[in-house]
């Protein structure tokens, strides 16, 4: 364990050093905040969170899992609270209740006549309520605010390590299982006919989603993390008709939003989660208007040309 | 060719949420032949194919594919499946060529691991060749680089068929491959299926196109919740049999009969 930890902090140092190279090229007014140690760590966290959220968001958007993402992210709260009570690292509790809730949703959906959106709404509000009740009893309200809305400027080493680990796992999993994941997302019936283990892929993807949400908690917070799991993917979907470029664009949108949001949060002294999501939404609006093929401008222009 | 049937079902029952769609189906579809499955809307033809592909779990009964366990044969890539097209996600960001390549994904499990991590254009040349041949066979080479969302209904059908072909599987399960295609494409598809049968493949085709079934199928299976009859086309597609099919002879259910009569 100590070996792993020192390896982790070495890796973090190396990555921060790497990130500082492009930062050095920026004008002083932009690069000045990164003199601070906490800003360097916040930057690395933002880049990582933006990248993994962006990566997963393509799957969430194409699989229509937005509500599921929202459900898991809310269901994480009681886990955080219980972990706080027991003195565990928060992400262990978060991961457990997030995963349990997604399994519970699947079970309700399969074995009762309740439809999936109702099953999700029911489970996640219940879990969230439990979390609120526990937290209102134990923790100070600032702590609650940070969990709910994120605080990337105060990110701790343990959370940074977790984010790094989640990033490595997500990238490896998607790279190694790229084709099964693509086929499952695109056409599950075909995946089934080719003998792929649908259940394994389905729950694997859900666990990956839960891991991403937990890893993003300190940065964007429970309430807003789902935006980072939808907006980058939706933006990328407007910009391309290919899957791999879509993954790449979504990752890029995620990173840009996270970094720009971090800067806004620093300069304007506003909540980091909100700032990040607003930047992502602005990028989405830009794509909506100006996308080369599916954008509004092109559509208007095409319609006018047809009428001539 | 041995006598092992391509698909063998014994007392097969299946249901969606306890509502039965298939009851007590016992049949053996011979390998290397062309079988047409005929029955009214809602008869459970698509559901039967879904049981074979594994997306609908049977409640009871036994299913064997080429003499082996169904799951094992699916994993071995023996079953190529073309679904009825309403169930597909057509605005998915993939090109026509990538879509056809997904038909090879099962076989790619047998490639060495480093080849499996490569993008499509560096994949094993056998896969790429099979994809190009399949695109050629359905005359869709010109659209290969475009997104699937921009195809017409008949073109979509041909792409889905190309994907099934590219798999070079022993058994082709086709759910209404002729619905909604223009006459030249219909000719193209039927000729192509004739070639596949001559190459020794088993063709199982759900269809409402009785003239094509009469002309091409070796036998016809009449399905209306249960197996109403199976035999040569001339016999099965006679007026008497078709009348019996429409009424439905499902012994333990009135649902099929009511639906067909309504
Ligand atoms: N996903 C589903 N959930 C619940 N019921 C279903 C589902 N799919 C089909 N059914 C029901 O099962 C019955 C058989 O459907 P199936 O699609 O197998 O019919 P089919 O013979 O293929 O009809 P068609 O000729 O219209 O394609 C129908 O009554 C249908 O309502
Ligand atoms: Mg059907």
- Within 10 Å of residue A112's Cβ, how many Cβ atoms? 10
Q: What is the pLDDT of residue A286?
A: 96
B248 Cβ closer than 6 Å to some ligand 1 atom? no
Report the gap between the CA of A124 and the closest CA in chain B (Å).
Answer: 25
pLDDT classification of A83: cutoffs 50, 70, 90:
confident
Q: What is the pLDDT of residue B60?
A: 93
* Mean pLDDT confidence for B105-131: 90
pLDDT tens digit sequence for B197-234? 999 999 999 999 999 999 999 999 999 999 999 999 99
User: What DSSP element (H or E) covers A201?
Assistant: helix A198-220
* Mean pLDDT confidence for B9-13: 93
Residue A296 belongs to a domain = yes
Q: What is the pLDDT of residue A140?
A: 67
Q: What is the pLDDT of residue B252?
A: 42
Residue B249 has pLDDT above 60, yes or no: no
Count of domains forming chain A: 1
Which ligand 1 atom is the nearest neighbour of the CA of B40? 25
Residue A180 belongs to a domain = yes
| Residue in A closest to B84 by C-alpha | A189
- Determine how β-strand B219-224 pairs with β-strand B202-206: unpaired
Q: Are B38 and B221 in contact (CB under 8 A)?
A: yes
**Which residue reads 């009449």 in tokens?**
B222
pLDDT classification of B260: cutoffs 50, 70, 90:
very low
| Residue in B closest to A111 by C-alpha | B17
* Mean pLDDT confidence for A148-169: 85
Closest CA to A215 of A110, A91, A37, A51: A91
> Which residues, listed in sequence order, are joined to residue B38 by a DSSP beta bridge?
B222
Find the B41 Cα to ligand 1 centroid distance in Å. Answer: 8
pLDDT tens digit sequence for A18-62? 998 888 888 888 888 888 888 899 999 999 999 999 999 999 999
Report the gap between the CA of B74 and the closest CA in chain A (Å).
Answer: 5
For residues B253 and A257, the model is more confident at A257
B16 Cβ closer than 6 Å to some ligand 1 atom? yes
Residue A77 belongs to a domain = yes
Q: What is the pLDDT of residue B259?
A: 40
Dihedral (C-alpha) A10, A16, A22, A25: value to the nearest 10 degrees?
Answer: -110
Q: What is the pLDDT of residue B256?
A: 40
Residue A28 belongs to a domain = no
Task: Give me chain B's average pLDDT, please.
Answer: 88
* Mean pLDDT confidence for B28-43: 93
Q: Are B179 and B208 in contact (CB under 8 A)?
A: yes
pLDDT tens digit sequence for B65-85? 999 999 999 999 999 999 987
| CA dist., res. A255 & res. A50, Å (int) | 4
B173 φ/ψ angles, rounded to the nearest 5 degrees:
-105, 110
* Mean pLDDT confidence for B41-54: 94
Is residue A294 helix, strand or coil? coil
Report the gap between the CA of B95 and the closest CA in chain A (Å).
Answer: 7
- List, in order, residues 6 or more apart from A32 with CB less than 8 Å away: none
Residue A233 belongs to a domain = yes
Residue A25 belongs to a domain = no
**This prediction's pTM:** 0.89
pLDDT classification of B2: cutoffs 50, 70, 90:
low
pLDDT classification of A141: cutoffs 50, 70, 90:
low
Find the B220 Cα to ligand 2 centroid distance in Å. Answer: 16
| CA dist., res. B100 & res. A162, Å (int) | 39
CATH value at residue A161? 1.10.3470.10
Residue B251 has pLDDT above 70, yes or no: no
Is residue A46 helix, strand or coil? helix
Q: Which residue out of A195, A233, A294, A302 would a mutagenesis test of the B interface target, given it has the greatest number of B Cβ atoms within 10 Å? A: A195
* The token pair that represents A113 in the structure block: 């006549």
pLDDT tens digit sequence for B20-31? 999 999 999 999
For residues B71 and A116, the model is more confident at B71
Question: Using CB atoms, which residue from A113, A186, A191 is nearest to B94?
Answer: A186
Residue A244 has pLDDT above 50, yes or no: yes
Find the A61 Cα to ligand 1 centroid distance in Å. Answer: 28
The answer to whether A64 faces chain B, any CB pair under 8 Å, is no
Q: Which domain holds residue A78?
A: 2-19+34-307
Residue A24 belongs to a domain = no
Residue A27 belongs to a domain = no
Q: What is the pLDDT of residue A139?
A: 65
Helices marked H in B76-203 — which ranges? Answer: 96-101, 113-116, 125-137, 153-166, 183-198
Cβ under 8 Å to B: A residues 215-244: 237, 240-244
């Amino acid at each position: 364990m100590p070996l792993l930890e020192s390896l982790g902090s070495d890796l973090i140092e190396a990555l921060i050093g790497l990130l500082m190279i492009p930062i050095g090229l920026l004008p002083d007014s932009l690069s000045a905040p990164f003199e601070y140690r906490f800003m360097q760590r916040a930057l690395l966290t933002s880049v990582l969170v933006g990248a993994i959220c962006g990566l997963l968001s393509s799957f969430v958007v194409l699989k229509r899992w937005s509500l599921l993402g929202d459900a898991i992210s809310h269901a994480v709260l009681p886990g955080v609270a219980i972990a706080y009570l027991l003195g565990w690292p928060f992400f262990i509790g978060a991961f457990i209740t997030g995963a349990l809730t997604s399994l519970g949703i699947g079970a309700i959906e399969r074995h009762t006549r309740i439809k999936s959106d109702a099953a999700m709404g029911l489970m996640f509000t219940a879990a969230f309520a439990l979390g609120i009740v526990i937290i209102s009893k134990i923790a100070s309200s600032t702590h609650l605010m940070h969990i709910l809305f994120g605080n990337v400027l105060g990110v701790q080493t343990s959370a940074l390590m977790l984010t790094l680990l989640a990033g490595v796992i997500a990238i490896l999993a998607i790279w190694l299982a790229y084709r099964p994941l693509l086929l499952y997302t695109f056409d599950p019936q075909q995946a089934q006919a080719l003998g792929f283990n649908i259940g394994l892929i389905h729950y694997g993807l859900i666990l990956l989603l839960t891991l991403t949400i937990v890893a993003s908690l300190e940065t964007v917070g429970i309430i807003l993390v789902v935006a980072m799991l939808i907006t980058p993917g939706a933006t990328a979907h407007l910009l391309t008709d290919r899957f791999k470029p879509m993954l790449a664009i979504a990752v890029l949108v995620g990173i840009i939003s996270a970094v720009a949001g971090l800067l806004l949060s620093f300069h304007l002294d506003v909540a980091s989660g909100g700032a990040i999501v607003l930047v992502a939404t602005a990028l989405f609006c830009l794509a909506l208007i100006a996308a080369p093929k599916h954008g509004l401008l092109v559509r208007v222009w095409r319609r006018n040309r047809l009428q001539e | 060719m041995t006598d092992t049937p391509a698909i063998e079902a014994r007392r097969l029952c299946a249901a969606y949420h306890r509502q039965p769609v298939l009851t007590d189906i016992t049949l053996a579809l011979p390998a290397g032949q062309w079988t047409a499955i005929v029955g009214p809307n809602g008869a459970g033809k698509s559901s039967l194919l879904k049981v074979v592909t594994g997306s609908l779990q049977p409640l009871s009964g036994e299913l064997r594919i080429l003499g082996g366990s169904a799951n094992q044969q699916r994993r071995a890539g023996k079953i190529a499946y073309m679904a009825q097209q309403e169930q597909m996600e057509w605005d998915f960001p993939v090109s026509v060529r990538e879509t056809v390549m997904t038909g090879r994904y099962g076989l790619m499990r047998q490639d060495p691991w480093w080849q499996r991590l490569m993008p499509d254009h560096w994949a094993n040349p056998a896969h790429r060749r099979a994809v190009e041949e399949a695109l050629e066979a359905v005359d869709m080479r010109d659209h290969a680089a475009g997104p699937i969302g921009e195809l017409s209904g008949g073109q979509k059908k041909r792409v889905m068929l190309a994907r099934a072909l590219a798999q070079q599987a022993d058994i082709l399960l086709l759910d209404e491959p002729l619905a909604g295609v223009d006459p030249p494409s219909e000719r193209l598809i039927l000729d192509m299926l004739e070639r596949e049968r001559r190459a020794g493949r088993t063709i199982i085709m759900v269809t409402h196109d009785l003239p094509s079934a009469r002309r091409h199928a070796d036998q016809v299976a009449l399905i209306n919740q249960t197996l109403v009859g199976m035999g040569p086309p001339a016999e099965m597609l006679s007026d008497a049999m078709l009348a019996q099919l429409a009424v439905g002879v499902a012994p333990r259910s009135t649902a099929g009969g009511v639906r067909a009569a309504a």
